[in-house]
Amino acid sequence: MAGRDHGPLGLVMGDVDMVRALGVAGISSAFFGFADDAARRSRHMRIAMPWIDQWERQEDIVAALLDLARSLPEPPVLYPQTDATLLLASRHRERLGDALRLILADPDLIEQLVDKARFQALAAQHGLPVPRAQRLRPVPDAPVPVLDIPYPLIVKPLTRTPAWSAFAGSGKAVDVGDASAFAALWPQLRLVGTEVIAQQRISGPESRIESYHVYVDAAGAIAGEFTGRKIRTFPPDYGQSTAVAVVWLPDVAEVGRDVVSRLALRGVAKLDFKRDDRGALHLLEINPRFNLWHYPGALAGVNLPALVYADLTGRPRPTARAVRTVEWCDPLQDLRAVHATGVSKVAWLRWLRRCGAICGLAREDPAPFLLGKVWPAVWLRVGPARFRAARGSAAAPDAPPVPGEPPGSSA
């Protein structure tokens, strides 16, 4: 399939890594994502939809997707890459299925996997190896609850809200060492007002988080799989991945297959585990959607998005070769993680030279990284001040001007 640049488009609701994974297989993309996303600069992108930045406008988003799909000569293949886009696709699957091609897990299973509290109940029902957890509702004036899980633990929101982000920053969770620390945290949680999960903490750094990635076809057969582990996140604890490695982990694959079988899961999924001090694997979450890992996975020899594309368009499946190790990073974010963890910048640069997958950057497609990531970062640091200096007191534009165009002009 590599080298082909025709046929149905992949309709990406995500970011540049998803566009890149499809591009590796010669598949062009339509894109629905943030207005400033680097994916809009990619040579693999054929159509960019206007961004609708209000997820309560579900009907408008669905209508825009259907309008685009019906304007194309062939129905596109839908690739939801976030929880929000996954839920939109699942809850409107019948309407979207009239004009797009998609494969999703069972709708009720998706709802259970995305909702952290429902996931705990689902895990108990199927005997999945998850850490103990308890749902909490920190409403105003609520007393400190009695927990039936051991310390230390972590507290994370059922859904990341603006109030949680204002409280915890970009961290996915906060650490709680003992009962007194939890008592001190509770008044802050009441102010945030977001339902949370208190979960038993599995000791060890984020690099102990290992994942199983799989595509299960409509017949229930595993069409492709690979495994990997995190290298760094930012923030260093409970943060977003900034560097990961696709590497074969046999025990992770074995446990992952067992979980997928118990849930009768179909479609694409990522299962996150954390390995404890004794080497046992604990299931943290299951994301039944596409994600950044599919780009390094494709370079490693297992292109799950391309397998999905082949099945939904009636084309031969690409060969899923034996997986080789491929490391991925988002350099601008990973540099922050490196600084926070005290890693030598020289050592990091040496590692970066060997990194097989760079977010937004490829030799044949450099524009997403250079124009979509580096240029906005440079503009953020020096552009507005220089613009104001050149124009007197005039305000700088919110977005960086396109390179090669005079400031303030439209490209």
Q: What CATH number is attached to the domain comprising 285?
A: 3.30.470.20
Which of the residue ranges 253-262, 268-277, 385-394 would you say has the lowest mean pLDDT?
Answer: 385-394
Q: Are residue 227 and residue 303 in the same domain, yes or no? A: yes
Whether residue 2 contacts residue 23, with contact meaning beta carbons closer than 8 Å, is answered with: no
**Same domain for 83 and 54:** yes
pLDDT in tens, 214-234: 999 999 999 999 999 999 999
- Give the pLDDT mean for 10-39: 93
What confidence score (pLDDT) does residue 56 get? 81
Position 411 confidence tier, pLDDT thresholds 50, 70, 90: very low
Q: Which of 329, 356, 388 is the last residue of a domain?
A: 329
pLDDT of 410 higher than 60:
no
Domain boundary among 200, 231, 251: 200
Q: Residue 399 — pLDDT band, cuts 50, 70, 90?
A: low
> What residues form DSSP beta bridges with 283?
273
- Provide the domain limits for residue 303: 206-329
What is the pLDDT, as a whole number, of residue 383?
63
Is there a single domain that holds both residue 225 and residue 265? yes
- Residue 406 has a pLDDT of 35
Q: Minimum mean pLDDT among 59-68, 74-83, 134-143, 270-279: which range?
A: 134-143
Per-residue confidence (pLDDT) for residue 409, from 0 to 100 = 30
Cis amide leading into 235 (omega within 30): yes
The answer to whether residues 148 and 80 belong to one domain is: no
CA-based nearest residue to 253, from 216, 225, 215, 295: 225
Task: Tokens for 118, please give them.
Answer: 């429902």
Choosing from 305, 329, 353, the residue where a domain stops is: 329
> Residue 386: its pLDDT value, please?
58
The DSSP string of 129-165 is -PPPEEEE---TTPPPPPP-SPSSEEEEESS--HHHH
- Average pLDDT value over all residues in the chain: 89
Model confidence pLDDT, tens digit, residues 96-112: 999 999 999 999 999 99
Same domain, 182 and 272: no
Q: Is residue 172 located within the same domain as residue 149?
A: yes
pLDDT at 274: 97
Per the model's pLDDT, the better-predicted residue between 289 and 235 turns out to be 289
Q: What is the pLDDT of residue 310?
A: 97
- Could you tell me if 196 and 255 lie in one domain? no
Q: Are residues 194 and 283 in the same domain?
A: no
pTM listed for this prediction: 0.88
How far, in Å, are 24, 39, 115 from residue 83 at the CA level?
24, 19, 10
| Model confidence pLDDT, tens digit, residues 230-261 | 999 998 888 899 999 999 999 999 999 999 99
Compute the C-alpha angle 368/371/375, nearest 5°. 135
pLDDT tens string 112-156: 999 988 999 999 999 999 999 999 999 888 899 999 999 999 999
How many separate domains does the chain show?
3
Q: What is the CATH number of the domain that holds 53?
A: 3.40.50.20
Segment 162-206, tens digit of pLDDT: 888 888 887 888 999 999 999 999 999 999 888 999 999 998 999
d(CA 112, CA 263): 11
CA dist 151 and 369 (Å) reads: 43
Residue 395 falls inside a structural domain: no
Does 377 fall in a domain? no
Provide the percentage of residues in the chain whose pLDDT is more than 90. Answer: 70
Are 190 and 211 within one domain? no
Q: Is the pLDDT of residue 23 over 90?
A: yes
pLDDT tens, residue by residue, 319-362: 888 789 999 999 999 999 999 988 899 999 999 999 999 998 88
For residue 410, being part of any structural domain is answered with no
Q: Output the CA–CA distances (angstroms, integers) from residue 331 to 137, 209, 233, 304, 362, in the order listed.
A: 38, 20, 12, 24, 13
